[in-house]
A and B are shown apart, each in its own frame.
Chain A
């Protein structure tokens, strides 16, 4: 119901245009190895997916959200919103990973198999934190549009700034930039580095979603 309302209401259009622009920028300049290209694509998609999640969760009027909450219970209502966002985000990621093949954005001669696998991992590491940020910025949590937009923008900026190499507190943000850096290095990153990135993302998401659950419980 949420996804149908979101798509029919026309609110999905703006983030989709943003995705297209980003893909054009990333892949417009010629072919690059799969791992490098996908690493950047995942990092660039992060703020768009967070925005998409916020728009999806905000598409429903407040009263309708309360009706849904009464109908299925608070936990299921909150979870269903996150799952709807996950579904949409994965679809966007799949499209973003398929798109470069249309305009020859990926060099098929350099470590193609491992590059694609790393690309899938990079996108999977970016999606849950993006959804968590979007959910925390949604109107159901922030109560006002201005605060919601502020949360979204500040989070997106912090992910980049605190994610730069040499950052003072990189663990405060999900490892979106760290993943892109790891994929930018020639060769396949060592397994323990990938495990660290995955664990980091998992812990960050666990904390963020726990916060979301707590805030949603406290608010209607």
Chain B
């Protein structure tokens, strides 16, 4: 998928939100969009998804099936979570079984009969994620997917991203909370001053502390290629899902390196 000289502004006389965006995301790649609040990350993601149309230039080679997880799920709708997903499946032509699969996988079973408006932010976000995955997407666009999610749900996202890229899909994900270490090998695009800079993915620093103070720790997926020093051994530890975050923090506090978390 390619951005070809894409310019975008929200109104005819407004300043350009994005200028001269030229970038390519190859099939099977993951791209993390970085940038300050209001830099234009969401705008770039919506242009990629096809929600917004470029003012100039074009986005070419977009896969036919696009899954878009908006930054804020539109919870102001008179449906229960299960009802909403069943209706979206109908609209998208997905089988009924896909609804059950994603409700179970995203741990939404106990919330399936809750009205959307009564869901917590994180649970509503999971419904948003589920609707994007009802039909296996060729392009998955995740706008701040970690926002409001609990530690267990957060560990699911890298797995889902890996599944989409493994089947040749492209994943674009924005992040301002330093969770990106969970996506090793991702390309980094940085939006600043209305332009896009492409930076190579830096190597994941094992044991790196979260970028935002007070934020939950980054949980990289297990990487078998992690370098191990001569005086080190790898100890595999199983902890309760609900305590994964705390265990990672405690281990790091004790001076150990956490190489990965897998579910």
Contacts and interface: CB of A to CB of B under 8 A. Distances in A.
**Physical interaction between A and B:** yes
A61 B50 contact: no
A72 B87 contact: no
Interface string A50-68: 0000000000111110111
A154 interface: no
Contacts of B225: none
**Chain A contact residues: helix, strand, loop or mixed:** helix
B78 A9 contact: yes
B66 A70 contact: yes
Say whether chain B's binding surface is mostly helix, strand, loop, or mixed.
loop
A64 B51 contact: no
A67 B131 contact: yes
A62 B87 CA distance: 17
Contacts of A8: 78-79
A61 B77 contact: yes
Contacts of A61: 74, 76-77
A63 B78 contact: no
A116 B23 CA distance: 64
Interface string B45-67: 01001111100000000000010
Interface residues of A, number: 19
A64 B92 CA distance: 13
Given A64-B74, A64-B77, A71 B88 contact: yes
A185 B50 CA distance: 54
Contact of B51 (A1, A5, A60, A220): A220
A63 B73 CA distance: 8
B66 to A, nearest CB: 5
Contacts of A5: 77-79
B72 interface: yes
A218 B52 CA distance: 9
Given A5-B79, A67-B70, A220 B92 contact: no
23 contacts: A1-B87, A1-B88, A1-B90, A1-B91, A4-B78, A5-B77, A5-B78, A5-B79, A8-B79, A9-B77, A9-B78, A61-B74, A61-B76, A61-B77, A62-B74, A63-B73, A63-B74, A66-B68, A67-B74, A68-B91, A71-B91, A71-B92, A220-B51
Given A70-B49, A72-B91, A72-B92, 17 more contacts: A1-B88, A4-B78, A5-B77, A8-B79, A61-B76, A63-B70, A63-B74, A66-B51, A67-B70, A67-B88, A69-B51, A70-B51, A70-B66, A70-B68, A71-B92, A218-B53, A220-B51
